């Protein structure tokens, strides 16, 4: 099957971030004084396990970032025509989960729909009953076999995962010195194995209102969350860094102007500012439908724009922090000396001031990540979040909120969003803590 790779805007930004990350990592490896704090991070068991979890999430997100369009099978005229549907490698990998949709709600591991339906039975009578699912557990004859089957499949999957995990640890034994990691890796692979083996025949986390697999939705949400958390920093970072440092270093009218800008921005209640900007962006997108070849491209641009807007409204805090730091730094003797020697301001800024505030930037970035992931859910509630057709934690929670009122309650979609979000944000928070501890010279490490 032939296909054409598609690079959406957000994909490009993710690749850019990835490249920047790799370059930064190589630079740090070559400089001992920069490596030192990272060593401290690497020695922390909690941090490394969080990193493992984050890496797992990032892998899923990256797989979901490799987009392509498949060619349509029948093209009468010689030229190749591609389907307007944009898929990702993750979609391909989860093909069964994506395409095996039921009619409506079904509980985790259920064999039947969650709602009764009128069915005509053999005698021609109309009866109300729970119809069997089209895919979930379709290989079983009836309910009684389920427990044994779930146990068996789960066990096999877990065993497979465990073996793979242990093998992995053994192969990397030289690198994996931490005991916590040696336990965590097999545990994670075991879980993956178990879920994979079960998800092949069941809806492990149930299905939503239109019968989509909740596990699939949750996995797809990861990319949205990660992008909001990372791409936003692409905007925040240069703005905050340059403006903050410039304001602190030059003082005078530069400082006045920059202070004015960020006071104006930060004095507007942020939800209102974001709402206004998002509405504006939406209008622009709506009035130019010809910009987008596919609906995925439109939803994607909206996501990117949301990141930019979040970035534009959230750089002020970091900027203020950096300004303060720069004010302090410029009074230091070696900078005074550099000035006396006539070193250009730009050089002083890039060579002396910026490297010395990098730890603040880093800490702020890792701390902001989780806040941004959480913010997405709230913004979607207010109606200014991601495109409604985009799968994200916010849209999942929003849809699931109404399901709480049903009885019997439809809890699984909410629980899945809660669980995945908690794991992601928790890992990010724990990792951020470790980074802060390692980099912040003020903290006493007793």
Partner 1 sequence: MIAYLIRRIFYALPILIGVNLLTFALFFVVNTPDDMARMQLGIKRVTPEAIEKWKEQRGYDKPLLLNSAASGTDKMTETIFWQKSASMFVFDFGYADDGRNISREIAARMGPSLAIALPTFLIGLIAYVSFALLMTLFRGTALDIAGVALCVVLMSISGLFYIIGGQFLVSKLWHWVPISGYGEGADALRFVLLPVLIGVVSGIGSSSRWYRTIFLEERSRDYVRTARAKGLSELRVLFTHVLKNAMIPILTGVVVVIPLLFMGSLLTESFFGIPGLGSYTIDAINAQDFSVVRAMVFLGSVLYIAGLILTDISYTLVDPRVRLS
Partner 2 sequence: MKSILAVLVSVLLAACGGQWNNPYPAGDAGQAIFYTAFTERPKHLDPAQAYSENEYELLANIYAPPLQYHYLKRPYQLVPLAAREMPEVRYYDAQQRLLSADAPSQTVAFSVYEIHIKPGMRYQPHPAFVPENLHLSEAALRPVHTLADFAHTASRTVTAADYVYQIKRLVHPQLHTPIAGVMSEYIVGLKDYAAELQQAVKAHPAGFLDLNAYALPGVEVVDDTAYRVTIHGKYPQFTYWLAMPFFAPMPQEAERFYAQPGMQERNLSLDWWPVGSGPYYLSENDPNRRMVLRRNPHYQSETYPVEGEPGDAATGLLADAGKPLPLIDQVVFSLEKETIPYWNKFLQGYYDASGISSDSFDQAVQVGVSGEANVTDAMRAQGISLSTAVATSTMYTGFNWLDPAIGGSSERATKLRRAIAIAVDFEEFVSIFANGRGISAQSPIPPGIFGYREGCAGRDTYVYDCVNGEIRRKPVAEAQRLLAEAGYPNGVDAKTGQPLVIHLDTTANGVGNKSRLDWMRKQFDKIGVQLDVRSTDYNRFQDKIRRGDTQMFYFGWNADYPDPENFLFLLYGPQGKVKFGGENAANYSNPEYDQLFMQMKNMENGPARQAIIDRMQEILRHDSPWLWGFHPKNYVLQHAWLHNVKPNIMANNKLKYWRVDVQQREALRQQWNQPAGWPLALSAALVLLSCIWLWRVLQRREEG
What tokens appear for 149 in the block? 């089957």
User: What is 217-234 written as a DSSP string?
Assistant: HHHHHHHHHHHHHHHHHH
Among 134, 147, 263, 295, binds partner 1 (CB under 8 A): 263
Stretch that binds partner 1, among 7-15, 22-30, 296-304, 373-381 (CB under 8 A): 373-381
Question: Which does residue 395 touch among partner 2, partner 1, none (CB within 5 to 8 A, set by kind)?
Answer: partner 2
| Contact between 264 and partner 1 per CB under 8 A | yes
Question: Which does residue 172 touch among partner 2, partner 1, none (CB within 5 to 8 A, set by kind)?
Answer: none
Question: Which does residue 425 touch among partner 1, partner 2, none (CB within 5 to 8 A, set by kind)?
Answer: partner 1
Q: What b/e sequence results for 361-388 when a residue is b if at least 16 CB atoms lie within 10 Å of its CB, and e otherwise?
A: bbbbbbbbbbebbbbbbebbeeebbbbe
Contacts of 166 (CB under 8 A, 6+ apart): 186
Chain residues in the site for partner 2 (CB under 8 A): 72, 74-77, 79, 81, 83-85, 101, 103-104, 115-118, 125-128, 208-210, 212, 279, 282-283, 286-287, 289, 294-295, 298, 381, 383, 387-389, 395, 398-399, 401-408
Query: Shortest approach of partner 2 to residue 126 CB, angstroms?
Result: 6
Q: How far apart are CA 75 and CA 71, in angstroms?
A: 9
User: What is 54-86 written as a DSSP string?
Assistant: HHHHHHHHHHTT-EEEEBPS--SSSS--B-S--
Residues 162, 186 contacting (CB under 8 angstroms): yes
Report the interhelical angle of 270-287 vs 354-382 (nearest 10°): 70
Query: Shortest approach of partner 1 to residue 264 CB, angstroms?
Result: 4
Query: Shortest approach of partner 1 to residue 37 CB, angstroms?
Result: 18
As a whole number of Å, the end-to-end CA separation of the chain is 60
| Contact between 382 and partner 1 per CB under 8 A | yes
Among 194, 360, 384, 438, binds partner 1 (CB under 8 A): 384
For residue 309, give the 3-state DSSP assignment. Answer: helix
| Contact between 104 and partner 1 per CB under 8 A | no
Contacts of 136 (CB under 8 A, 6+ apart): 100, 102, 106, 109, 110, 111, 201, 202, 203, 207
Residues 214, 420 contacting (CB under 8 angstroms): no
Give the interface size with partner 1 as a residue count (CB under 8 A): 41
Closer residue to partner 1 (CB): 83 or 270: 270
| Contact between 335 and partner 1 per CB under 8 A | no
| Residue-level length of the chain | 446
Q: How far apart are CA 186 and CA 302, in angstroms?
A: 39
| Contact between 267 and partner 1 per CB under 8 A | yes
Among 353, 390, 421, 435, binds partner 1 (CB under 8 A): 421
Closer residue to partner 1 (CB): 162 or 312: 312
Among 243, 430, 435, 438, binds partner 1 (CB under 8 A): 430
Closer residue to partner 1 (CB): 133 or 435: 435
Strand order in the sheet with 67-70: 3-6, 67-70, 87-88
Among 163, 168, 254, 433, binds partner 1 (CB under 8 A): 433
- Tokens 């903290």 locate to 443
Question: Which does residue 426 touch among partner 2, partner 1, none (CB within 5 to 8 A, set by kind)?
Answer: partner 1
Under the rule (CB under 8 A), what is the footprint of partner 1? 260, 263-264, 266-269, 271-273, 275-277, 279-280, 283, 370, 374, 377-378, 381-384, 393, 397, 401, 404, 414, 418, 421-422, 425-426, 429-430, 433, 442-444, 446
């Amino acid at each position: 099957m032939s296909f054409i790779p598609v690079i959406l805007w957000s994909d490009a930004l993710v690749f850019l971030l990835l490249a920047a990350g790799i370059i930064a990592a190589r630079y740090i490896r070559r400089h001992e004084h920069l490596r030192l704090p990272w060593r401290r991070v690497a020695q922390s068991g909690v941090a490394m396990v969080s990193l493992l979890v984050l890496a797992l999430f990032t892998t899923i997100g990256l797989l979901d970032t490799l987009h392509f369009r498949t060619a349509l099978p029948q093209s009468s005229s010689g030229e190749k025509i591609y389907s307007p549907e944009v898929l990702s490698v993750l979609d391909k990998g989860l093909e069964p989960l994506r395409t095996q949709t039921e009619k409506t709600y079904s509980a985790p591991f259920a064999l039947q729909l969650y709602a009764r339906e009128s069915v005509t039975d053999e005698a021609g009578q109309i009866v109300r009953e729970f119809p069997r699912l089209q895919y979930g557990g379709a290989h079983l004859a009836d309910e009684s076999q389920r427990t044994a089957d779930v146990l068996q499949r789960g066990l096999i999957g877990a065993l497979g995962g465990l073996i793979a995990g242990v093998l992995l640890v053994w192969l990397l034994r030289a690198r994996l010195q931490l005991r916590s990691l040696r336990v965590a890796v097999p545990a994670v692979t075991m879980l993956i194995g178990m879920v994979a083996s079960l998800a092949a025949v069941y809806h492990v986390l149930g299905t939503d209102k239109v019968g989509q697999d909740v596990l699939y939705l949750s996995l797809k949400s990861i990319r949205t969350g990660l992008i909001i958390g990372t791409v936003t920093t692409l905007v925040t970072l240069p703005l905050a860094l340059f403006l903050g440092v410039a304001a602190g270093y030059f003082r005078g009218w530069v400082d006045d102007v920059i202070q004015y800008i960020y006071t104006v921005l930060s004095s507007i209640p942020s939800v209102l500012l974001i709402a206004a900007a998002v509405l504006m962006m939406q209008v622009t997108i709506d009035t130019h439908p010809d910009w987008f070849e596919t609906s995925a491209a439109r939803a994607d641009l909206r996501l990117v724009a949301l990141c930019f807007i979040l970035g534009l409204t959230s750089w002020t805090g970091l900027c203020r922090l950096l300004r303060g730091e720069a004010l302090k730094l410029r009074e230091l003797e070696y900078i005074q000396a550099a000035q006396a020697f006539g070193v250009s301001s730009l050089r002083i800024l890039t060579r002396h001031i910026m490297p010395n505030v990098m730890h603040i930037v880093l800490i702020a970035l890792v701390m902001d990540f989780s806040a941004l992931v959480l913010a997405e859910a709230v913004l979607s509630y207010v109606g200014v979040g991601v495109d409604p057709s985009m799968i994200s934690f916010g849209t999942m929670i929003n849809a699931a909120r109404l399901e709480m009122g049903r009885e019997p309650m439809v809890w699984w979609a909410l629980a899945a969003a809660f669980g995945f979000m908690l794991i992601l944000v928790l890992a990010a928070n724990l990792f951020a803590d470790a980074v802060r501890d390692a980099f912040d010279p003020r903290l006493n490490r007793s």
